[in-house]
Chain A
Amino acid sequence: MNFKPISEHELARLKDDELISHAVAARDARKQDAFEETLKLFVGRRFGLVEYWVSRKSNANDRDEIVSRAFVSIIKGIGKFRGRSTGQMVEWMRTVTGRRIADFYRDKEKTPRMVPLGEQPKEDEDWGPTNLGNPDDTGGVEVEMLIEQTLETRNEVQQEVIRLRMKGYSSKEVAEMSSDQKMSFTNVDKIFSRFRQDIEKAMQDDA
């Protein structure tokens, strides 16, 4: 088998589907330690995301069970989507997680019996629209539009600051990354806070 051990640093640089491919190669080469290490890295990397999606639509008591089922489905199916962009991959993971949440609560309502093939869950190769919320949930699209509309009222530097803050960079990090060399983290705070307040006001007006 063509399995080449790689350093932790190189492992961390692999994309999601590449990590799973590496795990498969380790499995085939009977390198159990490498297999587990790679898999753990993948699960850890996406743990926050999957938990976020699950926590929005489940009870706290059911959370860990659903999170583990979602990961099992994601890991089993990810090989089919090699070469997709990270954004597409994340969107697919979200879809799969949504299905596992639905399956869990549907199965909980049923009495124990074998589920006929015809009632089995849809294949996770379907890249149809994400449906993590209610079937007609358009809230996500409206929020996205509101954010973009509010961003458009800002100049380029401010837009850059806001986008970086929404990616999770701290005010200090954004100040250092900003194309405006005079940007201070206090200014970053003000820009982001005003943006947040404008979003809040727009939501109040809509309500």
Chain B
Amino acid sequence: MNDFEETPDPVIHAFDEYVAEFRKGHGDPSPFLERFEGSERKSLETLIESFVATGPESSPDPGDPRFNAVFEKVLDEVSAPAGGLSEHLALLRQKAGKTQAAVVAALAKTFEATPQEQEKIDEYYHRLEWGSLPASGLDGKLYSALAAILGVEPESLKEAAGSLGSRYGASSGPVFARSLDQVDLAEDASIVPGVIGQAVPDSESRSEPSRPDRIDELFTGG
């Protein structure tokens, strides 16, 4: 039995009904406000506002298709193995006015990489900005090197890696402005998302060496 069925005040009754719906994840008060006009409607609005201001929690039905559809969309946007580092790196690189190639060259110089090692750094860095390289494998020396190249503290990169984030190409909105010399342009000169002027790096596309080298250890922990 619903306790609120006993309530004679229709506005309070509507408030209690709203609370019950809210708990199921239906936060829109419109269907309840629309039952009233004038000051009754305002007083219901006030009660609902006060209730919401307490920061109440909801618990949607696991089978609710609308909730599940929204959740799947959210999950898609925050499930990058690199966490928030992917977007953060791209933004920092843009602010520093550097291309990916320039960052890769700077990393290669820092670590005195051979040409073959630089190729590896190139692929790893692309995967990192793409969001497909797990941030958990990144070495502290790499964070320091990237931070120095991009003009930030290593902690900011580690913090970004410790949060959740999108893969490149997800609808991350305007944050993901890429350098023009790194992207392909469509016929109307708009940016083509997901195309970075070369083959999309795939975590399985490169054959793994039988023994991790120092570059592997920098980016994946070996």
Contact = CB atoms under 8 A, between A and B. Distances in A.
Interface residues of B, number: 70
A2 B66 CA distance: 34
Contacts of A102: none
Interface residues of A, number: 77
A46 interface: yes
Interface string B10-51: 011001100100111111111000000001101100110111
B164 A48 contact: no
Interface in B37-87: 39-40, 42-43, 46-47, 49-60, 66-67, 69-71, 73-75, 77-79, 81, 83-84
A160 interface: no
A77 B73 contact: no
Given A52-B22, A166-B50, A47 B43 contact: no
B39 A203 contact: yes
Contacts of B201: none
B6 A27 contact: no
B9 A76 contact: no
Interface string A104-117: 00010000111111
B174 A120 contact: yes
Contacts of B174: 107, 114-115, 119-121
Contact of B42 (A48, A167, A200): A200
Which of A53, A114, A185 neighbours the largest number of chain B CB atoms within 10 Å of its CB? A114
A36 B7 CA distance: 40
B177 A115 contact: yes
A27 B69 contact: no
State the majority secondary structure of interface residues on A.
helix
Main DSSP-derived SS at the B contact region: helix
Contact of B55 (A49, A115, A186): A49
A49 B4 contact: no
A112 B163 contact: no
B164 A40 contact: no
Contacts, number: 201
B190 interface: yes
Interface in A179-207: 185-186, 189, 192-193, 196-197, 199-201, 203-204, 207
A120 B3 CA distance: 49
**Which of A75, A143, A168 has the largest number of chain B CB atoms within 10 A?**
A168
Contacts of A135: none
B191 interface: yes
B131 interface: no
B79 A35 contact: yes
A47 B27 contact: yes
Interface of A: 1, 20, 23-24, 27-28, 30, 35-36, 39-40, 43-53, 55-56, 63-64, 67-69, 71-72, 75-80, 86-87, 89-90, 103, 107, 112-117, 119-121, 140, 143-144, 146-147, 166-168, 170-173, 185-186, 189, 192-193, 196-197, 199-201, 203-204, 207
Q: Which are the 5 A-B pairs with shortest beta-carbon distances?
A: A48-B58, A51-B27, A115-B174, A52-B27, A55-B28
